[in-house]
Amino acid sequence: MKTKMAYLALFAALCGCSHEFTDLSREEYGVVVQVTIQPDLFDGDGSLAVPKEDGTNAASYTLRVYAYNHDGVPLFRGAEWRVSDPAVVELMPDNEDPPTHEARAAVRTLRDVFDLGGESEPEATATACVTNDCEGYGGGVVCEPEICSEPFVVKGVINAEGAWELSGATFPFTVAIYASQTGRTLDAISSYYEPEIHANQINFSAGSTSYLGHFIDRTHVAGEAIVSPSGDNLGTWTAVKCPDTGCTGAGP
């Protein structure tokens, strides 16, 4: 029986459906030996980057927990979440989902680079732990009462979502844009290519021109426009975040 289930688990992993496998009996397969965390949105270094106090894209910032037995078969378990620094990261456990063998938690960050002096992004780790009911297991079955995941890193990013006015350098007049943000990336900014925020830096491109900027504070950005590959400097540019009432200075 165990050999058959192991082959089925291997097949499920190869077809990409291992997280929707079958319910298994406690007697043969109920001991969890491994717990993993998978985010819905990976950052470049394998962590999760979440804009500070983002309330618009919360569904993008979810951690999912999977527990596996010694054959690599997923088992459903509720998870106890632990955060290394609750001042940086807040976890909101969701309803656990037995059909997909996962427990979930939405992630919210409470600090960004400016809360740490303007240079380094705040970060904290999230750990998920599940428990085994080891009573009654015998016959050489190894059963640890608690199994925890490796700590997963979550970083707080500047939240730049909203309306901005850009001027200077290649802009013949003040240009108004609206930026929606997912992780580090700002989306839907006219013809500009996916600006990304790293610490207090923001970079984006339009054609052969790269706009290299830095946040002076959360509502003001300044930078230079550089032509590639020549390296010619086209001058300085600035961006100012508009109030909730909207931008008023756009246009020729």
- The 10s digit of each residue's pLDDT in 208-242 is 899 999 999 999 999 999 998 999 999 999 999 99
- Measure Cα distances from 249 to 62, 153, 238 in Å: 38, 40, 13
Contacts of 249 (CB under 8 A, 6+ apart): 165, 174, 176
Paired strand residues for 58: none
Q: Report the SS3 class of residue 7.
A: helix
Paired strand residues for 21: none
Q: Identify the CATH assignment for 2-157 out of 3.50.50.60, 3.40.50.300, 2.60.40.1080, 3.40.30.10.
A: 2.60.40.1080
The more confidently predicted of residues 88 and 12 is: 88
Name the pTM for this structure.
0.81
pLDDT of residue 52: 95
CB atoms within 10 A of CB 214: 15
**Across residues 83-108, what is the average pLDDT?**
84
CA 246/CA 125 separation, integer angstroms? 37
pLDDT of 137 higher than 80: no
**Across residues 189-193, what is the average pLDDT?**
60
CA 162/CA 240 separation, integer angstroms? 11
Confidence grade of residue 28 (pLDDT, cut at 50, 70, 90): very low
pLDDT of 6 higher than 60: no
pLDDT of residue 15: 37
Asked if residue 134 lies in contact with residue 88, where contact means CB atoms within 8 angstroms, the answer is no
Contacts of 26 (CB under 8 A, 6+ apart): 133
pLDDT of residue 98: 60
pLDDT of 82 higher than 60: yes
Asked if residue 34 lies in contact with residue 147, where contact means CB atoms within 8 angstroms, the answer is yes
Whose tokens are 């962590």? That residue is 47
Q: Which of 80-84, 97-101, 153-157, 218-222 has the lowest mean pLDDT?
A: 97-101
Residue range(s) occupied by CATH 2.60.40.1080 in the chain: 2-157
Residue range(s) occupied by CATH 2.40.128 in the chain: 162-241
Domain 162-241 has CATH 2.40.128: yes
Question: Residue 135 corresponds to which tokens in the numbers above?
Answer: 């009573």
Among 182, 199, 121, 117, which Cα is nearest to 155's?
A: 121
CA 218/CA 222 separation, integer angstroms? 12
Confidence grade of residue 202 (pLDDT, cut at 50, 70, 90): very high
pLDDT of 4 higher than 50: no
**Across residues 48-76, what is the average pLDDT?**
87
